Amino acid sequence: MNEIGSAEELAERRHRLQGLMTADGLQACLITQNVGLYYWSGSMQTGYLFIPAQGEPTYYIRRSLSRAIRESAARTVPLGSFRSFGDALARDYPELFAEGRRPAVGADLDVLPAQTFLRLREAAPNVELLDGSAMMRRVRSVKSAGEIALIETAAQAAAAALELALGRIREGITELEVMTILESEMRRHGHIGLMRMRGYNQEIMTGMVAAGEAAAEPSYFDGPAGGRGLTPAAPQSASRRPIGAGEPILLDIGCCIDGYTIDQTRTAVIGDLDEELLRAYDVSVRILRHVESLLRPGASPESLYAEALRLADEAGLAAHFMGFGEDQVRFLGHGIGLEIDEWPVLARGFADPIEPGVVLAIEPKFTFPGRGVVGIENTYAITADGFRTLTASPERLYRLPIHP
């Protein structure tokens, strides 16, 4: 078990979840997704974690039991026959099922496949499965000091990789070659090789390296820049397109250390950007500085997004902000941790005040079809009286030399 997976920290996480269960009238929660299993038990082995509103949890394991016993801080038992799962719950938690009661159990229905949901209802008809995903995401949005330290470690690895890659960019190098340098260096620093997303059908690579018009190509990926990608089977991120002088190079990369991810963006150019793109980059920095001035506990995520929209509009760049046309995305930033797309989102509809311990990636960007994308992104930890920047890469437009 790693340092942040101590029995004390895992117990504190479960205690926070239990408090929300009680407030919402739930008798228990059922965790089925890998990230949730890891967050609340310390292990990511296949199974189901049952957390009652009062009392101790049980981790029912399908595979691998021996590893789960070694890693998990919860009581860990074999799942046995899936068809008798409801009977196992009634045996282990008789107070919840006494006198034919049918407890209300919140599950991570935002990510639970429909087929598995139907099988669970059949295997445990004595349970009323309800959507508990919002409360789970609220608990996970507040990070401990140990979690934030891992994100900082990932930030250091990303900074080292970016510095190395920037020193090797020349006219004619392909986006894919630059991404290969970044990925190789981050793996040397412990990058696990993937970054997890919660959204249905949303996938992410190590990030995006894209230049010129390729960066501005729209994609299914729910972000302000998609990238051309290698093929229609991977229609995002780096392509085999050579990078030329005078075009914006978007370096939107992440690094995941021990499950926790940093997300950052820097813009580079071989030579100089034209006046319009340079101005848009400066506006992205201005938006970031303004949002930072408002970033503190109690701030409303949707109000921060509204301020970014206002500044983009005042600069005459609203049509290019966070994408272009029908492909514009409706957010400024997002929570980040074990997943890229955590809560809160800096978007309309997220009105709950930001709490200390929340970690946010904030990414004002401008998209110009046929020309490229410029912008910046930092990751921040909210403190008791403000914020702390976790991103380690220097904050500037990287002007790279033109080599003969």
Q: What share of the chain is helix, strand, coil (3-state, %, to 5)?
A: 40, 25, 40
CATH superfamily of 142-400: Creatinase/methionine aminopeptidase superfamily (3.90.230.10)
List 104's β-bridge partners, or say none. 128
**What string of pLDDT tens digits covers the 404 residues of the chain?**
345 668 899 999 999 999 999 999 999 999 999 999 999 999 999 999 999 999 999 999 999 999 999 999 999 999 999 999 999 999 999 999 999 999 999 999 999 999 999 999 999 999 999 999 999 999 999 999 999 999 999 999 999 999 999 999 999 999 999 999 999 999 999 999 999 999 999 998 889 999 999 999 999 988 898 899 999 999 999 999 999 999 999 999 999 999 999 999 999 999 999 999 999 999 999 999 999 999 999 999 999 999 999 999 999 999 999 999 999 999 999 999 999 999 999 999 999 999 999 999 999 999 999 999 999 999 999 999 999 999 999 999 999 999 87
Instruction: Using alpha carbons, select from 291, 288, 316 the residue that is nearest to residue 302.
Output: 291
Enumerate residues 6+ apart whose C-beta is below 8 A from 25: 104
User: Measured between alpha carbons, how far is 134 from 146 in angstroms, rounded to an integer?
Assistant: 23
List the structure tokens of 150.
């891992």
User: Measured between alpha carbons, how far is 189 from 157 in angstroms, rounded to an integer?
Assistant: 6
User: Measured between alpha carbons, how far is 403 from 21 in angstroms, rounded to an integer?
Assistant: 61
Cβ pair 297, 356 in contact under 8 A: yes
User: Measured between alpha carbons, how far is 140 from 32 in angstroms, rounded to an integer?
Assistant: 15
Question: How many angstroms separate the Cα of 400 from the Cα of each of 249, 269, 272?
Answer: 11, 6, 8
Q: Is beta strand 365-368 parallel, antiparallel or unpaired with respect to 359-362?
A: unpaired
Enter the pTM of the model. Answer: 0.96
Nearest 5°: phi and psi at 225? -140, 130
Locate the domains of the chain by residue range: 3-140, 142-400
Assess whether the region 3-140 and the region 142-400 belong to the same CATH fold.
Answer: no
Cβ pair 136, 105 in contact under 8 A: no
Hey, what CATH topology would domain 3-140 get? Creatine Amidinohydrolase; Chain A, domain 1 (3.40.350)
Q: Is beta strand 104-107 parallel, antiparallel or unpaired with respect to 28-31?
A: parallel
Enumerate residues 6+ apart whose C-beta is below 8 A from 116: 32
User: Could you give the strand order of the β-sheet that contains 75-78, starting from the edge strand earlier in sequence?
Assistant: 75-78, 58-63, 46-52, 28-31, 104-107, 128-131
Q: Which ranges constitute the DSSP H helices of 93-169?
A: 94-97, 114-123, 133-141, 145-166
Instruction: Using alpha carbons, select from 119, 110, 124 the residue that is nearest to residue 28.
Output: 124
